[in-house]
Copies of this chain bind each other. A is one copy, B any other.
């Protein structure tokens, strides 16, 4: 009865690289995905195919047949992924509070002056 709470399978780091390619442009064939990531990560086409299969199994990617091969497209939005992963980190490390995360990024040189300027602008928007 489709009762499983649908706890979405996590996307691993390697899988994320594949998703990034699909988020940039889709649908793509396995070949095309490889052209986007294989050089960078020093992967074989087979590796990309495996990752694509796993992503399809995780329902993170959809397939549509195109003659003899498949076209792959993302099934989840990149912004959703960013949101859940960010939240997960904030929860795990900072008890769900974002401010301490910023304090840390700031202290550990993670914030450039540009970042600071951007964040200030965002804050101004949030308050309006």
Contacts and interface: CB of A to CB of B under 8 A. Distances in A.
Interface of A: 13, 16, 79, 81-83, 85-87, 89-90, 92-94, 97-108, 110-112, 114-116, 118-120, 122-123, 126-127
Nearest to A96: B110
A87 B108 contact: yes
B105 A119 contact: no
The complex is assembled from copies of this chain, and their number is 2
B89 A118 contact: no
List 5 tightest A-B contacts by C-beta distance, closest first.
A99-B118, A83-B108, A99-B115, A98-B115, A89-B89
A125 to B, nearest CB: 8
A105 B98 contact: yes
Nearest to A124: B120
B104 A93 contact: no
Given A83-B104, A105-B90, A123 B116 contact: yes
B98 A126 contact: no
A39 B87 CA distance: 25
A122 B102 contact: yes
10 contacts: A82-B93, A83-B108, A85-B89, A86-B89, A86-B110, A97-B112, A103-B118, A103-B122, A106-B122, A119-B123
